[in-house]
Amino acid sequence: MIKDQKDLKEKRGKWWEERLGWQAIITFLRQKKVPRSEHTIWLYTGSLILLFLAIQVITGIVLALYYKPTVAEANESVRRIMTEVPLGWIIRSLHFWSATGMIATVFVHMISIWLLKSYRRPRELTWMTGVLLLILTLGFGFTGYLLPWDELSLAATKVGTDIPRVIPFMGSWISKFLRGGDDVGPDTLTRFYLFHICVLPLLIFLVIGFHIFLIQKLGISQPLKYELKGIKVPEIPFWPDFVLMESRVWLIAVGLLITVAIFLPRGLGPQADMMAPTPTGIKPEWYFLFLFQTLKLFPAQILFISGESLAILIVLFFLVLFFFLPLIDNQPGGNKGRIITFISLVIIIYAVAMTIWSLVE
Amino acid sequence: MKSIDKKFKIQGKRFTLTGIFSSKRIPALSGRIMIDICFFLFIFALTPSSSSPFIACPKSSAEIESLFSLQVRPAEPVTIQTFWIKFHERDKFNGFFFETESNERMEKDRVLRSSDPPEDWQRFMEKVMLLDQAKINQDKIINDYLSLSKFPEVFESEVEEIGCLYLALNLNLKEKDNAFESMGFLGEDQEKGKKEEAEGKEEVIRPGFRNIKEKISIYAFLVWLWLVIGVLLYILNEQIKEAERRRRLGL
């Protein structure tokens, strides 16, 4: 009896093996090594981002079953999701908190790689695709914010879509393209919905695919300080050791996410009124607060340019530098590398301080 | 010609605001300012439950530059809208109004309030308010009225059967100047309407458990979830130890 069962199992295994060749994948994962050091904890953030993304895809599909992307119905449909659809408010809350978790984890992931200088040769493209993923993630947050079509989301989108105007030559066109006209309106909502559920997911899966391919091809970098000393840190197999260790983090993250989603559910404001003045005291989501606070610090006019325009151009300039950081920081162990680390720390502290300042203000 | 098409909701009723104005006379920025002003006026003055006329007029510091009209199409007939035209000085047209099917009622209200014989501007207003749209479009009345000859082609849109016409002004506003002041006649219903509007604005959906059954079920689910997580974490820890042992042994 047992022998028969074993034979059947083997037979089934062969059937799958013949079609998928999964043994080759298992062998690859067993041979794939992960450096184990005090910095290993930062490696968990990568898979955590994918976990949050998966939760967002699932909850997003459920929400899309009931959401109606028109000015007249958007707010009402979200209201319906939260009040009539069974457990709809939890689904929406899970979607919101997984988005927040994803953006927070992307920030932590980027900062850890930034400070550990894991972008150094030959992983420049891995870093650049990572920056693209950060932008796409923020794009998800920005487009998704408008979809409930409440007062705050409309005001934030008006401000947000106005920002590209300061970009020379094509700024106005970008703003108009995003809005679908001169002002935020029905076309903006349709476009943002399309970006949120179609364009951005396609782009993010493409870039994630390329990012993961690069990680598999180049492997995970050794910590810089050990590499400079010529010490090779011990490595563990990706499968099953590292996956088991990561699984603990996933479990805790899922538990925390569900708990937070239940006890801190996302509310819904009154329907947006396109002709109403901007409500007082509006603030963007936490991940744009540093930019928001920076804009407030700048005076109205600096020489021949408006303060706001100058601030946005400076931020865009830093974003370009950030993208090309591996090419700029081409001597991570040298004096140039140390100066870049110092500047990086100053920027991170500045962003955190601005965010906290804006939150408590 | 430039047109706008905006939808909005006031006191639970949905409206489509369709504005048509001459882009030759009104630059884009001014147009936007005008729409804002008109909307402010619209929100402030629209009182479907009130039969009392409401007068609003700009302060003398606000200079009129041009006029434009907006067509308002309520999704459902608005019961009564009574509005007044105010001439601040005789040579200026400093007001706004809704042309509605209830014009007769408005006229009646005005007559009841005022025992004095109507002045020129009041007669003009009556004429305008009681005209049908086809006649207004001919511009005759406005151009015939001498003091208003500088404002030709005021009306450029046609009003639908259930609609009303909103006449607004392009104002040259001075900085930090509240351009409008209420001239009274704001009935109790209007106050009530405004309060309801304000309450409606603050309405925020705070999600939560719908009933005790849902609350208990979700709490039970949370307890079960954390128990499962605890058990799985224990199993994972054991598996990690086993994997480490096997790795050390070179298996």
B113-130 per-position pLDDT tens digit: 555 565 554 554 454 444
**For residues A64-77, average pLDDT:** 93
pLDDT of residue A21: 83
**For residues A63-91, average pLDDT:** 92
Rg (CA), chain A: 23
CB contact under 8 A, B229 and A251: yes
pLDDT of residue A109: 95
pLDDT of residue A256: 96
pLDDT of residue A247: 94
- Whether A282 contacts chain B with CB within 8 A: no
Of A219-223, A278-282, B173-177, the poorest mean pLDDT is in B173-177
Backbone phi, psi, residue B69, to 5°: -120, 150
A positions 151-210 inside 8 Å of B (CB):
151, 182-183, 185-186
pTM over 0.90: no
Contacts of B247 in chain A (CB under 8 A): 236-237, 241
Backbone phi, psi, residue A355, to 5°: -65, -45
Chain B residue with minimal CA distance to A242? B240
Rg (CA), chain B: 30
Name residue, tokens 């493409």.
A206
What span, in angstroms and rounded, lies between the C-alpha atoms of A135 and A319?
10
List own/partner pairs for A159-162 with CB under 8 A and 24 or more apart. A159/A282, A159/A284, A160/A284, A160/A288, A161/A188
A positions 243-262 inside 8 Å of B (CB):
244-245, 247-248, 251-252, 254-255, 258-259, 262
CB contact under 8 A, A82 and B205: yes
pLDDT tens profile B177-195: 333 333 332 333 344 444 4
pLDDT of residue B29: 57
Label residue A79 by pLDDT band (50, 70, 90): very high
pLDDT of residue A38: 85
pLDDT of residue B111: 55
Of A127-141, A175-189, B84-98, the poorest mean pLDDT is in B84-98
- Whether A241 contacts chain B with CB within 8 A: yes
Average pLDDT score, chain A: 89
Task: State both tokens at A65.
Answer: 């079953």
Nearest CB to A244: which of B32, B206, B236?
A: B236
- SS in 3 state form for B180-224? EEECCCCCHHHHHHHHHHHHHHCCCECCCCCCHHHHHHHHHHHHH
pLDDT tens profile A155-214: 889 888 888 888 888 888 999 999 988 888 889 999 999 999 999 999 999 999 999 999
Of A146-150, A228-232, B189-193, the poorest mean pLDDT is in B189-193
CB contact under 8 A, B239 and A244: yes
Label residue B5 by pLDDT band (50, 70, 90): very low
CA dist B93 to B88, B104, B132, B150, B178, Å? Answer: 7, 22, 20, 10, 18
What span, in angstroms and rounded, lies between the C-alpha atoms of B76 and A157?
30
- Whether A76 contacts chain B with CB within 8 A: no
Contact B97, B83 (CB under 8 A): yes
Label residue A105 by pLDDT band (50, 70, 90): very high
ipTM: 0.84
Label residue A321 by pLDDT band (50, 70, 90): very high
Chain A residue with minimal CA distance to B40? A276
Q: Where are the alpha helices (DSSP H) in B47-187?
A: 103-113, 120-130, 133-137, 140-144
> B249: Cβ–Cβ under 8 A, 6 or more apart, which residues?
none
Name residue, tokens 């001459």.
B22
CB contact under 8 A, A90 and B201: no
pLDDT tens profile A218-228: 988 888 888 88
Contact A235, A34 (CB under 8 A): yes
> B174: Cβ–Cβ under 8 A, 6 or more apart, which residues?
B61, B62
Contacts of A261 in chain B (CB under 8 A): none
What span, in angstroms and rounded, lies between the C-alpha atoms of A355 and A122?
34
pLDDT of residue B245: 87
Percentage of the residues of chain B whose pLDDT score is greater than 90 = 9
Q: Is the pLDDT of residue A261 over 90?
A: yes
Q: Which helix (H) or strand (E) holds A249?
A: helix A243-263
Disruptive mutation site among A30, A248, A275 for chain B (greatest number of B CBs within 10 Å): A275
Disruptive mutation site among B175, B205, B234 for chain A (greatest number of A CBs within 10 Å): B205
- Whether B240 contacts chain A with CB within 8 A: yes
pLDDT of residue A203: 97
